[in-house]
Structure formats: C-alpha cells, structure tokens
Amino acid sequence: MAKKLHQIIVVDVEATCWEGKNPEGQPNEIIEIGICILDVKTLERVGKEGMMVKPQLSQISPFCTELTTITPADVANGLSLREAGEILRTKYKSKSCTWASYGDYDRRQFERECIAKEIAYPFGTAHINVKNLLALTKAWNREIGMAGALEKLKLPLEGTHHRGVDDAWNIAAILAAIFKMTR
C-alpha cells in the first residue's frame, strides 16, 4: 500500500495513572486517544477527534482524574482498544499515513498494550517523534515538555492540557511550526 504523504495523523493518548506505583495487577491502559490531522501542504490542522477507551484491567484513580479531567463515568461507555484501533485503520488510514506524537510514550504504550491484549497494532512504521525533532531543529540541549515547547515557540496552549484531543491539536501546531522553520 502506498504511503499517504499529504497528511500526518497526530496522536496523543491519555492512560490510567497513579501517584506513585501502579496498584497490583493494574497496568497503564489507554483511556483517551486524541487525533488531529495536519495537512502537510498547507500546514493547517484540518480535523480533530477524541475517542474514549474503556480500560479492561485498571481503574481511573483520583490522581488520574485530577491530571486529565477524565472520570470513570467518562469511559464507562467508551470503545474497546480493538474498536478504537479499527477506527484508526479505517477512518484515518493509519497504516498508510505517517503519524506523530510528542515523545515516544504514545508509540510505546500502543505497542505494549496491543501486544498484551493481542490486538493488531493500528499504525504503520512511519512515526515522527515531535519532541525529539523539535529539540534537534532548534538545537536545544534537551527535550522539553509540550506546554514548555508551546511557550518557547510563542504558541498558545489551546484547550485542556493532558486531554488527548486537545494535546493532539497542540502537538500538530508544534509540528506545523517545525515545518515552517525548515521551509
């Protein structure tokens, strides 16, 4: 299948988390998948979506709700990770598009969880680590978080930080800014 090079799928996931160690038997699980499409030619963000994913093996902690604003009620009727992966493959053609995330956590979380749950990995091999790319492009001596990157680039943080749909939107703005620097 030919790669689609006119758009990049920017993805940000939120996962169950706790202050300190995970409770016994509760792995980190994806609870939200934020998606933003970046048109490579125009560098416009042309769409965004958030998919809530119901965790199977873990609970949303009060710490997780405080960080993400996501509550157990928000995911009670969420998709399974399998269903969300199918949407990524069919609606977004994720196997044939380049995709991006801020850092490598999202890619690794998808890989770990897909292996553990015996689910088909929804992405192809073309992944852009925006955090690393930004540090290299700006010749920064270290990588910085998404909110810090927006601030250094003088871009607004739009929406709620640590919500997948809003973070994907903001990451797409960072990626567009990188492309503008290199054109």
Helix pair angle (105-116, 81-91), 10° resolution: 120
Q: Which residues pair with residue 100 across a beta bridge?
A: 10, 128
Q: Which residues pair with residue 53 across a beta bridge?
A: 79
Task: Give domain limits for the chain.
Answer: 6-182
Residue 158 is predicted with a pLDDT of 98
| Consecutive H or E run containing 167 | helix 164-182
pLDDT tens for the 183 residues of the chain, in order: 556 678 999 999 999 999 999 999 999 999 999 999 999 999 999 999 999 999 999 999 999 999 999 999 999 999 999 999 999 999 999 999 999 999 999 999 999 999 999 999 999 999 999 999 999 998 888 889 999 999 999 999 999 999 999 999 999 999 999 999 988
Please check whether residue 75 is in contact with residue 31, taking contact to mean a CB–CB distance below 8 angstroms: yes
Q: Which CATH class is domain 6-182?
A: alpha beta
Residue 182 is predicted with a pLDDT of 85
Distance from C-alpha of 84 to C-alpha of 87, rounded to nearest angstrom: 5
> What does the DSSP 8-state code read for residue 18?
-
pTM of the predicted structure, to 2 decimals: 0.95
Please check whether residue 81 is in contact with residue 52, taking contact to mean a CB–CB distance below 8 angstroms: no
Angle, alpha carbons 5-11-17 (nearest 5°): 160
